[in-house]
Amino acid sequence: MSNSFRTTNSTGLINKDKKINFTFNGTIYHGYEGDTLASALIANGVHLVGRSFKYHRPRGFLGVGVEEPNAMVQLHDGNKSEPNIIATEVELVEGLKAKSQNCWPSVQFDIGEINNVLNRFFPAGFYYKTFMWPKSFWMKIYEPFIRKAAGMGKAPLLPDPDRYEHNYEHCDVLVVGSGPSGLASALAAAKNGARVILAEDKPNFGGSLLTDEVTIGNMSGKEWASDTISQLKSMPNVILKKRSQVFGYYDHNMTVMIERVSDHIENPSKYTPRQRLHYIRAGEVIVSTGSIERPISFGNNDRPGIVLASAAKEYMKVYETLVGKKPIIFTNNDTAYSTALEFIKNDIEPIIVDTRDSSNGELVKEVQQKGISIKFNSGIADTKGHLKINSAIIGKLDSSKESFISEETVECDCICMSGGWTPTVHLSSQAGNKLKFNDDIDAFVPDKKRQKETAIGAANGSFTLNQSLAEGFQVGFDLSNKFTDQNNPTNSPNSNEPSYEKHEKLWCMPLPSGKKPKRFIDFQNDVAVSDVELAIREGFRSIEHVKRYTTLGMAGDQGKTSNLNGLQYVSKIEKKIVPEVGHTTFRPPYTPVTIGAIVGREVGNHYLPTRKSPIHTWHEENNAVFVAAGLWQRPRYYPMGSEDMNSAVNREAANVRKNVGICDVTTLGKIDIKGPDAPEFLNRVYTNAWLKLPVGKARYGVMLREDGMVFDDGTTSRLSENHFHMTTTTAQAANVLSHLEYYLQVVWPDLDVNVLSTTEQWSGIAVAGPKSRDLLSKLFPDVDMSNEGLPFMGLVDSSIDGIKARIYRISFSGELAYEVNVESNYGLYTWKKIMEVGQSFDIQPYGTEALSTLRIEMGHVAGAELDGRTIPFDVGLNSMVSQKKDFIGKRSLSKDAFTESDRQTIVGLVPLDKKTKIPEGSHIIEDNSAVAPIPKLGHVSSSCWSVEYNNPFSIAIIKDGKNKIGKNLYAVSPLKDISIPVEVVSSHYVDPEGSRVRS
């Protein structure tokens, strides 16, 4: 049966000289270059491709492109495996492996089909009704069962090995769709000098011109398409993109297009992306997306072999493939007769069933002239054939067309149906266009636009070639004129196509006598006419509710073939006109998009930018374990030998307390502040006073938000009269800069101050511990490091091996400490120099964990305490708040809640057993035997192992903390089922007088 459904002509777009082998459900087949998976399977007589979602009914191909609701397959194996791929959109490539999904054990024999036998137990809303009770059954019984029964393909569990890229494009005119109107508008716009992008989803440009028997000028439609493409290709202002689907239309004319770059290539080179996502900001968008044929609802209209008439024609004309050899054409309009004529051309006589009483269309006449009789005033009532259609019951319609007066059974192997055409308005609708209903074509068309978007051709409801071309040339010229001054219009050539008579407003056949077969509207979600009837009977009126209750139009195909038929049926039952029923919302993406393409290159290490200090390589060479601090990579600790984290951290912290440690603090935010009003500005930004800070001195400052919450803290130094150097926490560096800019530019533009980030210009190295003074004296022999020469919070400029260095005497560890700042390029050199000289002082590097331990022991607050929910009082910083001046956020501090006498405040906690570590985030309660809900006094913000006292120590913020010191409370973590008796102590656990920093 190999390729026994190929036609003998070679007028299509496949290359029969190049065979391509592929596997479907384990069987090896071959197709040809230019085939899709769908056309190759059909050519091999394979129609059964999958099982439907709910009833597991056998399903075949309905369409030939993006409209396909049934033929979803799982492609490839292992890490390249991809579920829910539409077989009509997959180009055949050597070695392609595909399999059916939603079936077990096989697509021919599927256990789930029992749902079909039991279908009367699975009406619309079945899940909502059945699994409501008892509530406790949901998680354990219903939900896992539904999950197992439902679902389409299987998502791969391995990381995606393919490469995806993003591209940003700008153009004057984006044309979406390369049918007659699209080509015409692109040509007109390009000839008028506009920068044009023409996007086509399929591998070939031309749209309907590839399948329609028409002439344009003195050429066939197909020739004209190819000639126009050649012209466009030669123009430097045009980008042509095939295999590219514009799937989303967002604000300000931002469209997004997915390009299938190498899916169709057998062995793409290593760095060729698989797909590319283009963000196109277009001046104007021309929506020439054509139209999609509508199916007709009739009994068992979902059997494999029942296809859209236009799809059957395209399979013949483009893919040289017959969907069947005993076809029935079933239509309510003239266009399906072109499919009939194509069968006749291939020496196959179709049976034609037309719901209308008659038609005088040219195509109809042509068919009749070939001696084919047409069953007018007839419809298909039912079909037979389990895995493939084998016969149809054709009925004669009564005058009301509400029932059949006689029925006959006719053998067939396919039915090509046509219910007329639906303009593809998705992009216009996404762009905010309010659609209007066009009674002539019984479909919605774009109306009032909100963005710079213009629908033309079939997408605009203009179904004739003449109209399409005229609109295309006119709109292409008009829109391009907005961007160029060439004023060079292109005339529309004469065209010729058959005339068509009007369709009949009939999309749902009556039931056959004595039977109630399912008449499907939405194939993918198994929504039948009876489901819509049920929804309305149960009181669902809004079309949005009917959609959600029945799931009509909610599947992966987003109702491309089903939405309008559903609407039409609702309006029929409700006896309303369609515009009164309205339509559901079109949302991006128009077609499914691979998640990998959306993510692009932002995976793994490229997920976020990585910031590294200039000293990073040294940390790596010295066994540092890194931790992310925002975008920065910071050394967390430096294990020696087989040390675990706890021992390494304790060793590093203890060495700072005993000898001297060195820590890379380059990541701290640094902001250079200059200008005559700089002191006044700082005075407004910080809670404490800044006007009288002497030159050469640093001061600790706290800044608030206007709501009174602590925003950030850090030390700021006065370098000269009008020049300050501010430091911020690593986490808030960018936010503080924006905050300062806001106040300078928006609130107090009269202040003459400039701010600039210098975080990356300075490398900071903290040297902390009792031996730090001796070490620095040796490093900077010219500087007087005594308490008099460089007192606490002093700073001095010096140099080391000719490198300019600024030394600040500031401390986060609570020990005697300094911070050496050098230009970033010298950071690594200076660090190494300090390490080298420091050897004789037992220097050791310490990471962020030891840094935390040291500051927690001292009761210094950090991000865990300054969490955006604490005012200065809460974190023991009330002494920093000036009573004499106003500053950002001050007025909030006098609000009632912030001045309550039992307001929360910071305390220290020590477990009574001096052993059990208190998890950060634990709740503090008074009585652990109380019955829930137990009042919560506060929470544990930071925990460490005190290297000074050799027991756990934590900082907590608790209600009325000041009066709780000395009391015993409980730290509980219900999630971990932990309850730890603790004693409340001062948060300043080590050196509460602060004598060490001043020693």
Q: Residue 650: left (phi > 0), alpha (psi -120 to 50), or beta?
A: alpha
921 in Cβ contact with 867 (< 8 Å): no
In the complex, the smallest distance separating the C-beta of residue 166 from other proteins, rounded to whole angstroms, is 12
Minimum CB–partner distance for residue 432 and other proteins (Å):
7
- Nearer Cβ to other proteins, position 104 or 742? 742
CB of 613 to other proteins, least distance (A): 22
Residue located via tokens 């007589």? 45
Q: Which residues contact 995 (CB under 8 A, 6 or more apart)?
A: none
For residue 105, is the peptide bond before it cis, meaning its omega torsion is within 30 degrees of 0?
yes
Strands 275-287 and 164-176: parallel
Coil, strand, or helix at residue 608?
coil
Question: Residue 585 CB, nearest distance to other proteins (Å)?
Answer: 15
Q: Which residue, among 270, 245, 265, has the nearest Cα to 256 in the 3D structure?
A: 245
CA distance 637 to 656: 13
Structure token digits, residue 248: 């989303």
Residues 246-249: contacts with CB within 8 Å, 24+ apart? 246/174, 246/176, 246/199, 246/280, 246/427, 246/590, 247/588, 247/589, 247/590, 247/591, 247/593, 248/430, 248/588, 248/589, 248/590, 249/285, 249/427, 249/428, 249/430, 249/431, 249/451, 249/453, 249/588
Nearest CB to other proteins, comparing residues 544 and 886: 886
Angle, nearest 10°, between helix axes 563-574 and 529-537? 50
> For other proteins, which is the closer residue by CB, 644 or 896?
896
Minimum separation from the CB atom of position 459 to other proteins (A) = 22
CB of 787 to other proteins, least distance (A): 38
DSSP type of residue 333? S
CB nearer other proteins, residue 404 or residue 887? 887
Cis status, amide bond into 510, omega within 30 of 0? no
Structure tokens at 444: 């919605």
Structure tokens at 630: 């925002």
Q: Please state whether beta strands 196-199 and 238-241 pair in parallel, antiparallel, or not at all (unpaired).
A: parallel
The smaller minimum CB distance to other proteins, of residues 214 and 888, is found at: 888
Asked if residue 933 has a cis previous peptide bond (ω within 30° of 0), the answer is yes
- Residue 665's Cβ-side half-sphere holds a number of Cα atoms within 13 Å equal to 28
Cβ burial of 485 (10 Å; 0-12, 13-18, 19+) is: exposed
Separation in Å, CA 593 to CA 102, 219, 241, 379, 544: 20, 37, 17, 38, 24
Q: How far is the CB of 629 from other proteins (least distance, A)?
A: 20
Helix (H/G/I), strand (E/B), else coil: 316? helix
Region label for 418, one of left (φ > 0), alpha (ψ between -120 and 50) or beta (otherwise): beta
Q: What is the smallest separation between the CB atom of 556 and other proteins, expressed in angstroms? A: 25
Q: With respect to other proteins, which residue has the nearer C-beta, 20 or 171?
A: 171
| Cα distances (angstroms) measured from residue 441 to each of 293, 463, 501, 523, 698 | 12, 9, 12, 23, 78
Report in angstroms how near the CB of residue 763 gets to other proteins at its nearest.
23
C-beta closer to other proteins: residue 646 or 761 = 761
Which H or E run includes 831? helix 827-838
User: Judged by CB, which is closer to other proteins: 804, or 891?
Assistant: 891
Q: How far is the CB of 437 from other proteins (least distance, A)?
A: 23
Closest distance between other proteins and the C-beta of residue 427, in Å?
16
Q: Three-state DSSP class for 91?
A: strand
- Token pair belonging to 427: 């992009």
Nearest distance in Å: CB 405, other proteins: 54
Q: Is the peptide bond before 589 cis (omega within 30 degrees of 0)?
A: yes
For other proteins, which is the closer residue by CB, 250 or 376? 250
Nearest approach, Cβ of residue 678 and other proteins (Å): 16
Which of 325, 449 has the CB closer to other proteins? 449
Contact between 882 and 926 under an 8 Å Cβ cutoff? The reply is: no
Q: How far is the CB of 757 from other proteins (least distance, A)?
A: 9
- Residues 86 and 59 sit within 8 Å (Cβ to Cβ): no
Minimum CB distance to other proteins, residue 741 (Å) = 6
Q: How far is the CB of 153 from other proteins (least distance, A)?
A: 31
Q: Hey, what amino acid is at 81?
A: S
The count of other CB atoms within 10 Å of the CB of residue 370 is 12
Nearer of residues 279 and 829 to other proteins, judged by Cβ: 279
Nearer to other proteins, 623 or 758 (CB): 758
Which residues contact other proteins by CB under 8 A?
Answer: 250-254, 279, 281, 432, 450, 684, 706-707, 737-738, 741-742, 745-747, 749, 886-887, 891-892, 895-896
Which of 403/892 has CB closer to other proteins?
892
Nearer to other proteins, 707 or 842 (CB): 707
Kindly give the pairing relationship between strand 951-958 and strand 905-911. Answer: antiparallel
Rounded Cα–Cα distance for residues 322 and 401 (Å): 32
CB of 253 to other proteins, least distance (A): 8
Nearer to other proteins (CB atom), residue 502 or residue 705: 705
Nearer to other proteins, 427 or 567 (CB): 427
Instruction: Indicate the residue type of 903.
Output: R
Q: Residue 821 CB, nearest distance to other proteins (Å)? A: 24
How many residues are present in the chain? 999
Q: Which is nearer to other proteins, 17 or 896 (CB)?
A: 896
CB of 269 or CB of 894, closer to other proteins: 894
Tell me which amino acid residue 34 is. Answer: G
